[in-house]
Amino acid sequence: MTIKNKVVVITGASSGIGESTAKLLAIKGAKVVLAARREEKLKEIVHDIQNAGGNAVYHVMDVTNLDENHKLIEFTKENYGKIDVIFLNAGIMPNSPLSALKVDEWNQMIDINLKGVLNGLAAVLPTFIGQKSGHVITTSSVAGIKAYPGGAVYRATKWAVKDLMEVLRMESAQEGTNIRTATIYPAAINTELLDTITDKDSLEGMTALYKKHGISPERIANIVAFAIDQPEDVNINEFTVGSTNQPW
């Protein structure tokens, strides 16, 4: 398998999709670098991975800080000597109608969901371009391919990630840098995303939706592993994933 011995960096790795992906890739033989803000959670996950025979380290960082993204790449190279894949997964979803004017939450989503991806790219692309190989994977959302009331800014950030990744794929092909891309559009996945919603009506609606249709983050981890495990000359660019019973 092409996953074995690959060095994979995962942001937003302290819970949910990031945690599940780190554990699965480690089982499959990858060397995993977990990155997030919550050190205790990261330490616990790395401990679990190592106890299961996997190879993992963690690095505390904030994706909204460009310098900390550069330090994450440096940390990875210091520990493993290279980097093959970066999974830009950190995100928040404090949905609300635009009329609620939760401007601070709008800015938080832009900073984490969009600028966090841009910062990760700015940090890793020099390495990928220099070695003429690499794989960038991002977590977008079904909200990144369809418009729904109640979460315009969240959706705007996820649409932006969709376009950003598509252009990265095209430019890499034109420039001959062999950088693979994969954008994942999850529907309702049972993670901590709902914990960020402060608008009462939005929280009630999303909670009911997730209770009915939510599936495990391990399902997304399987998709990440599948994308990485393809031959180097194969790029599967997009995955839309959700419950069989959810009409997203």
State the catalytic residues. Answer: 154
Contact indicator for 50, 126 with CB cutoff of 8 Å: no
Give dist(CA 42, CA 13) in Å, integer.
7
If you compute the radius of gyration of the chain from its CA atoms, what whole number of angstroms results? Answer: 17
Give dist(CA 160, CA 117) in Å, integer.
10
* Per-residue tokens: 184: 């994942």
* Per-residue tokens: 178: 């062999």
> Per this entry, what is the length of the chain?
248
* Per-residue tokens: 114: 């969009």
Give dist(CA 155, CA 144) in Å, integer.
6
3-state SS class at 248: coil
